[in-house]
Amino acid sequence: MHQFDYKVSDFDKLSDDMRNLQDFFWKLPVKSAKQNLAIDHACVNLEKVVEYERNVKYIMTNRMVGYEWGSLIVLALISLYCLILLNDGSLSMIVFIPILGTAIALLLMVLYMLDQLLWKNRQWMVLPIFDVFDKLKLTPYIVYPMLSNKVISKKMLKGRKIRVAHFPNPYPDNSGKKVKVEQF
């Protein structure tokens, strides 16, 4: 579960783990048709993970650049400026302009979060992995920054035992990692 040890932008550091896992499955001795079926199923699912990894790499290398963000911000500011110029002091305009300004700001924030692959990170990344741990009856694993950055809330973990990794060195140096089981 090294994927939590890295930021999404450093997802490519997991490529070797994926290849090693594939090699492990291909080298397993097959003693029965059931084992062969299980290994084939695992390899098919691993191929899906590798495809997901390729998609993430593509998305991370094709993010919006500065001038694209600049043009969006300028367009938003021009829109707000035009609305302010149209303000005739009526109650409807006094209510409409702040609502539209807030909507434009929220839209820019959502676009930024989508561009950085941060949108709904908990629902798309963390919770499915927790489900895998639960189904395998294993103790879930997280890194401490997920708690400190509020990717995962302590309320969400209440009553659970979780393996929490602490890193003594600043990111991306993962050496000296210490994992301890904590009860929430």
For 61, half-sphere exposure in the C-beta direction (CA atoms, 13 angstrom radius) is 8
pLDDT > 80? residue 124: no
pLDDT band at 12 (very low <50, low <70, confident <90, very high): low
Same-domain pairing of 58 and 77 = no
pLDDT > 90? residue 9: no
Distances (CA, A) of 148 to 92, 118, 151: 42, 16, 8
What angle (nearest 5°) sits at the alpha carbon of residue 150, between those of residues 173 and 137?
80
Same-domain pairing of 104 and 158 = no
- Predicted confidence at residue 14, as pLDDT, reads 65
- Predicted confidence at residue 122, as pLDDT, reads 64
pLDDT > 90? residue 105: yes
In this structure, the strands spanning 161-166 and 178-183 are: antiparallel
Number of domains in the chain: 3
* The last residue of a domain, from among 19, 44, 63: 63
Q: How many CB atoms lie within 10 A of CB 130?
A: 19
- Predicted confidence at residue 24, as pLDDT, reads 82
Q: What is the residue range of 145's domain?
A: 121-184
Same-domain pairing of 125 and 154 = yes
| Interval 49-102: pLDDT, tens | 778 777 777 877 788 889 999 999 999 999 999 988 988 889 988 998 999 999
CA distance 152 to 144: 10
pLDDT > 60? residue 132: yes
Same-domain pairing of 97 and 127 = no
Same-domain pairing of 54 and 103 = no
Show Cβ contacts of residue 143 under 8 Å, excluding neighbours closer than 6 positions. 4, 5, 164, 165, 166, 167
Same-domain pairing of 16 and 45 = yes
36 near 30, Cβ under 8 Å?
A: yes
Same-domain pairing of 58 and 106 = no
